[in-house]
Amino acid sequence: MTETEIGVIVHFFDKIGVAAISMTDGTLSVGDTIHIKGHSTDMTVTVESMQIEQDKIQTAKKGDSIGIKTGGKAREHDKVFKVTA
């Protein structure tokens, strides 16, 4: 399994369990697996849906700011890695 850094968490909406991610490199699509890693965060999530400004999207690219449900608590400045086989 290979991990490539694709973004960083810029905010976490605790009540709804959504992480705001700033894409810094590469692309991310629905169905991809990501690894969120930080000082006290270490979780793997399969992307079930993504949104930009409340509009559902299928693929995000470098420069996009997206929101995804994480199923756990992420923190600002956590790094986001795309997991590939």
Q: Is the Cα torsion angle 6, 11, 12, 15 positive or negative in sign?
A: negative
Answering whether pTM is above 0.85, one says: yes
User: Residues 76-82: what's their mean pLDDT?
Assistant: 98
User: In the numeric block, which tokens belong to residue 12?
Assistant: 């976490």
Is residue 83 very low, low, confident or very high in pLDDT (cuts 50, 70, 90)?
A: very high
Domains and CATH numbers, the chain: 2-84 (2.40.30.10)
| pLDDT, tens only, 6-58 | 999 999 999 999 999 999 999 999 999 999 999 999 999 999 999 999 999 99
Residue 4 CB partners (closer than 8 Å, separation 6+): 25, 26, 81, 82, 84
Q: How many CB atoms lie within 10 A of CB 6?
A: 22
Whole-number Å distance between alpha carbons of 53 and 51: 6
